[in-house]
Structure 1
Amino acid sequence: MPKAVIISGNPNAVSRLNGILEHVTGTLASLGWSVTQLPVANLPAEDLILARWDSPAIVEANRTVADADAIIIASPVYKASYTGVLKTYLDLLPQKGLEGKVILPLFIGGTIAHLLSIDYALKPVLSALYARHIEAGVFAVDSQITKADDGGFVLQEELSNRLDAAVGAFVQAAVLFTPQTVPEEAVI
């Protein structure tokens, strides 16, 4: 069974980003993928801030990333970039921590003005971590996701379609670049 890890830089437990992650997790699970959530805001703050490379929590998080076939990096956009908590965790990944991984960025922001934050803020850092297979990703605007009365989320159809297309490309790239671990039946 292919494995994906979602590294979420979301510091807010009720963020609309959760609607995106639920959609993507459901899509991958329906294709037979195992999906592990890695919410970096749940890692010990002191370990992140003090760059404790040998912290048991950081070592385990890095092992989870290393064991994955593919990685999703998700974050809200604050001040034209991904969150600081995500950056502190990315700084603690080994130098070649994303080598051989297919990456799918998923960002959400309050305005379309930050559309290029994936390209200009995130991709250089991912490249420094030896990520060579970075999919185009999806940028969503807060207004495309509504919080439902039951605590869930409702995504606009256009956003759902873009997410489905992005997940399809992500899965196909994983088959191409990690064929020994991702069977073809796990592809859209």
Structure 2
Amino acid sequence: MSKVLVISGSPSPTSKTEFVGEHVARRLAEHAWHTGHLRVRELPARALLDADVTDPDISRAVDLVAQAEGIVLATPTYKASFSGLLKVFLDLLPQYGFTHKVVLPLATGGSGAHVLVLDYALRPVAHSLGARHVVQGHFLLDRDLTAEGGRVRLRPESTESLDEVVEQFRRALAAAH
């Protein structure tokens, strides 16, 4: 079974961004893709900041990336860029850690003014890590996601547009496989 790894760069334990990553993972699992979800905030902070790849948790995380055929980068948008937490993790990966991988960049944020985070921040980083193919990313506004009673939901029209991007990603994975 082929593997896709969702990497969430949100520092929040009640993250809407993580919910989006889980939604993508469920959609891919419907098409026989084995999916995992790496929540960078759960890695040991000191080892992460020190880029200590000898730390067992960091080493396992790097191995998960190496074993994946597809990577979903899911991040909240802060100050017109992706999260520093995600950046710290991506910085400790080998120089060509995404070689032969298909990457789907996803971002969430409060304003459409930040949509360029996909093309001016996430896409260049994915390419610098050697990604085979970076598919069209997707940006979700906070208003596209509602949180009620500890549950996050996507608005129906937002679900449809996200699922279209996931389908493009799935096709790119199949073609690369």
**Equivalent residue for 1:182?**
none
User: Helix, strand or coil for the counterpart of 1:77?
Assistant: strand
CA drift of 1:62 comes to 0.9
Runs of 4+ with >3 A deviation: none
SS of structure 1 residue aligned to 2:82: coil
Is 2:4 aligned against 1:21? Answer: no
In structure 2, C-alpha distance between the alignment counterparts of 1:23 and 1:53, rounded to whole Å? 29
Contact 2:18 / 2:74 at 8 angstroms: preserved in 1?
Answer: no
In the alignment, the residues of structure 2 paired with residue 161 and residue 35 of structure 1 have an alpha-carbon distance, to the nearest angstrom, of 21
Gaps of 5+ in 2: none
User: Which structure's residues are more often strand, by fraction?
Assistant: 2
Aligned counterparts of 1:72 and 1:121: Cα–Cα separation in 2: 14
* Deviation at residue 53 of structure 1 after TM alignment: 2.6
TM-score, scaled to structure 1 = 0.90
* Structure 2 SS opposite 1:91: helix
User: Of the two structures, which has the highest relative contact order with CA contacts closer than 8 Å and spacing of 6 or more?
Assistant: 1
Partners of 2:21 and 2:72 within 8 A in 1: no
Alignment of 1:1-188 (within 5 A): 1-149=1-149, 151-178=150-177
CA offsets, 1:80-119, max 9 Å, x none? 0011110000001111100000000110001100001111
Cα RMSD (Å): 1.1
Q: Distance in 2 between matches of 1:18 and 1:53?
A: 24
Number of equivalences: 177
Secondary structure, in 3 states, of the residue corresponding to 1:100? coil
Deviations 1:109-135 (A, max 9, x none): 011000011111112211111113001
The aligned amino acid for 2:27 is T
Percent identical across equivalent pairs? 42
Q: Which residue type is aligned with residue 24 of structure 2?
A: V
